[in-house]
Structure 1
Amino acid sequence: MPFPVFPSKILTSNISSLIPLAQKLSKNGPVKRESTPRRIRGLFAGEWVFDTLGAVYVWEDVYYPYFYIPVNEFREGVLEKVEGKGEGEDGFYLARLRVGDRSTERVIVFSSTSVEAVRGLVRVEHSTIDWFAEDEKLLGPHPKDPYKRIETLPSSRRVRIEVAGVVVAESSQNVFLYETMLRPRYYLNAGDVKWEFLSESGTISYCPYKGMATYYNVKVKGREIKDAVWYYRYPTSESALVAGRLCFYNEKVDVFVDGVREESPRLFNIPFVQKGML
């Protein structure tokens, strides 16, 4: 399924926030790393800055991986060291990725004195460039985790959504979405939602598994819940069943499945949920 190409964000400030991460990884290494046979390419300012079969999955934490790229796979001249930001015994330095008059300083280069797991690799902030795996443009704040999957199943179980005791949606024409390590999400038939309670929020997020999501606010009895509902107009092929359906943020509303109120989110052992993981 084709996707529109969205311009990358160019981040050139707050590079100090990268230093603690670089220090931790250069000395202690990541949670895990793993090579991938995928062809990974990076597009910046309309030009390819790397094209490699040597990309590495690096888990900086337990939640999801990033792609790290060998430094020698970058096009000559596009990486510049940011003076005074690392090197020596630090095991890393901060760099600037530059093409023409566009640049980003959200780049870490791990040098020969870092631990072996990241030695010679480059971390480019995912949101600053356009990433491609083979010929597919990657969406979301990180690549897909090779050990996680999603499953979408049609379900006639009755799902009821309440806010402050008021029913805002109730449907038995649903798609249940199951994603590894995350709680189930219930995508309801749009015709079974009481639209008088909804208003567009303007928020957009990207998920590597499902695509671009658009959000609604919910307002009941004068109380407004921001970004309480999302939907995918053009989801990825693996999530095609949820197209045009509405999903209520379980953590913000009361969800009943076949008359049984859903358990507390804490029981799903999920430390946090951020937009882009929904």
Structure 2
Amino acid sequence: MHRSDIERARNAWVYRGQKRPAFALTPAPGQESVWDYPRPPAYVPDPRPVEIYAGERLLARSEQAIRVLETGSPPAFYLPPEAFDQALITPAARRTFCEWKGEAEYFDVQGSEDRIANALWRYPRPTAEAKVIAGWFGAYPSLLRCFVAGEAVRAQAGGFYGGWITDEVIGPFKGEPGTGHW
């Protein structure tokens, strides 16, 4: 993507976490509003145990995650490559581009019953701002069973997004019906 296209995409975002919009829910004690998350995203280490299952197979386990906090979206959790059972992961042809993180490559996962297409992604050569997640894997909770400190993760709406919804985060979230203009 050309630099001017990246700048145009970055500048198109109306909400950047400086002020919570009127439609945002108010967090209760112990909760976070995704509307307080910044843009560009923040990369926050998270020591809680994270587990990811492909069907009944344990795909990954780690207590060394990075939560990517980006305005309007539930956090995306990234785990280091060594947390994954690499025998279950196969490179896929899909590629996408994020104006904040760079080009993502995708991976299929062999579940306990079937192959799950494009279930993981990573940024092998991210932007300088995202270098902390270079080579780390993100996972779609819509395709895999994900847990944070034992809590089952709910998937962010919309097939493109990989946010992890837990009880600690409130929205509304990008990807839900009527949020296309966010």
TM-score normalised by L of structure 2: 0.68
Q: Is the 8 A contact 1:175 1:242 kept in 2?
A: yes
Distance 2:142 2:74 in 1: 10
> Does structure 1 residue 143 correspond to structure 2 residue 34?
no
Task: Quote the offset at 1:214 in angstroms.
Answer: 0.6
Partner of 2:125: 234
Amino acid aligned to 1:160: E
> Which residue, out of 136, 142, 163, partners 2:54?
163
The number of aligned residues is 138
> Does structure 1 residue 190 correspond to structure 2 residue 94?
no
Q: Is the 8 A contact 1:152 1:178 kept in 2?
A: yes
Greater gyration radius = 1
> Does structure 1 residue 153 correspond to structure 2 residue 44?
yes
Q: Is the 8 A contact 2:61 2:84 kept in 1?
A: yes
Provide the aligned C-alpha RMSD in A. Answer: 2.1
Task: Quote the offset at 1:258 in angstroms.
Answer: 0.8
> Would you identify which runs of 4 or more consecutive aligned residues in structure 1 move more than 4 Å?
none
Partner of 1:245: 136
Task: Quote the offset at 1:131 in angstroms.
Answer: 4.7
Task: Quote the offset at 1:212 in angstroms.
Answer: 0.6
Amino acid aligned to 1:214: E
Give 1:1-278 correspondences, 5 Å limit. 130-132=2-4, 138=6, 143-144=9-10, 145=13, 147-148=15-16, 149=39, 150-265=41-156, 269-271=173-175
Closer/same/farther in 2, CA of residues 146 and 237 from structure 1, 3 Å limit:
farther
Task: Quote the offset at 1:249 in angstroms.
Answer: 1.2
Q: Is the 8 A contact 2:55 2:113 kept in 1?
A: no
Q: Is the 8 A contact 2:141 2:154 kept in 1?
A: no
Amino acid aligned to 1:174: A
Task: Quote the offset at 1:239 in angstroms.
Answer: 1.4
In structure 2, stretches of 5+ residues that fail to align are 17-38, 158-164, 166-170, 177-182
Percent identity of equivalent pairs = 24
Task: Quote the offset at 1:146 in angstroms.
Answer: 5.4
CA-to-partner distance for each residue in 1:160-218, whole Å, 9 max, x for gaps?
00121221001111111111111211100111100111100021110001101011001
Task: Quote the offset at 1:154 in angstroms.
Answer: 1.0
In structure 1, stretches of 5+ residues that fail to align are 1-5, 7-129, 273-278
Distance 1:169 1:176 in 2: 16
Q: Is the 8 A contact 2:51 2:61 kept in 1?
A: yes
Residue aligned with 1:138, SS = helix
Amino acid aligned to 1:143: A
Residue aligned with 2:131, SS = helix
Distance 1:215 1:263 in 2: 21
Q: Is the 8 A contact 1:185 1:250 kept in 2?
A: no
Amino acid aligned to 1:232: Y
Q: Is the 8 A contact 1:218 1:227 kept in 2?
A: yes
Q: Is the 8 A contact 1:173 1:189 kept in 2?
A: yes
Amino acid aligned to 1:249: Y
TM-score normalised by L of structure 1: 0.46
Distance 1:226 1:263 in 2: 19
Closer/same/farther in 2, CA of residues 160 and 215 from structure 1, 3 Å limit:
same
Task: Quote the offset at 1:147 in angstroms.
Answer: 2.8
Amino acid aligned to 1:165: E
